[in-house]
Amino acid sequence: MTDAYVALEGERVVSARARAPGRTRGELVFTTAYTGYEESLTDPSYEEQVLTFSYPLIGNYGVRSERFESDRVHPRAVVARELTDDVASWLTEEDVPAVDHLDTRELVIGIREEGAMRCGVVAGDDVTPDDALDELAQCTAMSDHTDIGAQVSVDDPVTYNRDGTGPSVALIDCGAKDSIATSLIDRGATVHVLPYDTTEAAIEELSPDLLFVSNGPGDPKNFDATSKLVETYAGEIPMAGICLGQQVIADTLGGDTEKMTFGHRGVNQPVRDLETGQVLMTTQNHGYTVSDPGELNVTQINVNDDTPEGLDSDELDIKTRQYHPEANPGPHDTLGFFDEVLGMVESKSTVSAD
């Protein structure tokens, strides 16, 4: 029984089975991850996107809230070859449309060849192909979501581990995964999660040891307030960034970013460290990349396409990574990044004391 439709750019409509009802639109992307569907679905970086899973069965180990990366599902809709009842029920509760029983291999090949594309999704009783096309017609390009940070950032500052023995970290929340804060807290840091549009006055009052720009959705050029913080404090406060954070920092410091054809989304992206030659397996979720590092040095690259995966500056005390070193979901090859950035703070403190 057909009771769902996905309309793609070019007005092609694909039939499917409804698993969670609703009507929506967004940028159609895919992930190659075969585990970690709970973490992926609660990753704020998927805001305004329709997530297609290339792995054929999603939900085979249930749904557990302790694995969530935020307090809600962020993709506008979910597409899979087959969704279990557990996941379908969860998405229904979250009011996120979901469809299955379609050829996701063909969808993924289309995205790889044509790029991430706008789409419309309708699921439920009495929906028609024209309904999906109507949603597609209203779909906005990702770069046009100029205030997407407001959809994923905290409204007010939140402090964790206030009595921690480590550095004080100002985590600029552009759509941060919870495991980033957890990774810092586990190392003794006090973490102040701040809105993406935090002012310089708030930073001055807090006087953190480290400014950390998080991951997040959309075009890094649309995060003007975050960029202003980077411009003000680069070279003054040690700075780190993950994913969107790397892009915003590079963009601000004389570099540039660009949209990728279909991005990197999965848990097996190989990254080469240019100093050691070591290849790390990484978790990634991004549709934009740094095309010009500006004042920063490229220290790691993607093995598949040579895009920058790590940017550093000893002079400015900056370390950024395009991938997700917190590794939820995914391999733990890169967890040492958090030790490196906290060590950067300790080194600066030692120099200041001397």
The answer to whether residues 311 and 293 touch, using CB atoms and an 8 Å cutoff, is yes
Per annotation, catalytic residue among 27, 38, 82, 326? 326
Q: List 297's β-bridge partners, or say none.
A: 312
The answer to whether residues 287 and 29 touch, using CB atoms and an 8 Å cutoff, is yes
- Does 45 count as an annotated binding residue? yes
Which runs of E-coded beta strand occur in the chain? 4-8, 12-20, 22-31, 49-53, 57-58, 77-79, 82-83, 98-100, 117-123, 158-160, 168-173, 190-195, 210-213, 239-242, 256-273, 279-292, 297-302, 308-313, 318-321
243 catalytic residue (yes or no): yes
Per annotation, catalytic residue among 74, 192, 264, 324? 324
11 catalytic residue (yes or no): no
- Does 120 count as an annotated binding residue? no
- Does 133 count as an annotated binding residue? no
| Alpha-carbon span 12 to 191, nearest angstrom | 47
- Does 313 count as an annotated binding residue? no
> Would you state the structure tokens that stand for residue 115, as one six-digit string?
């790029």
101 catalytic residue (yes or no): no
> Which residues fall within 8 angstroms of residue 146, CB to CB, at 6 or more apart?
222
Single-letter amino acid code for the residue at 328: N
- Does 288 count as an annotated binding residue? yes
Per annotation, catalytic residue among 243, 264, 286, 309? 243
| Alpha-carbon span 62 to 23, nearest angstrom | 25
- Does 216 count as an annotated binding residue? yes
| Alpha-carbon span 81 to 92, nearest angstrom | 17
- Does 287 count as an annotated binding residue? yes
**Residues identified as active-site:** 243, 324, 326
Detail the residues annotated as belonging to a binding site.
Answer: 45, 216, 218, 244, 247, 285, 287-288
Detail the residues annotated as belonging to a binding site for L-glutamine.
Answer: 45, 216, 218, 244, 247, 285, 287-288
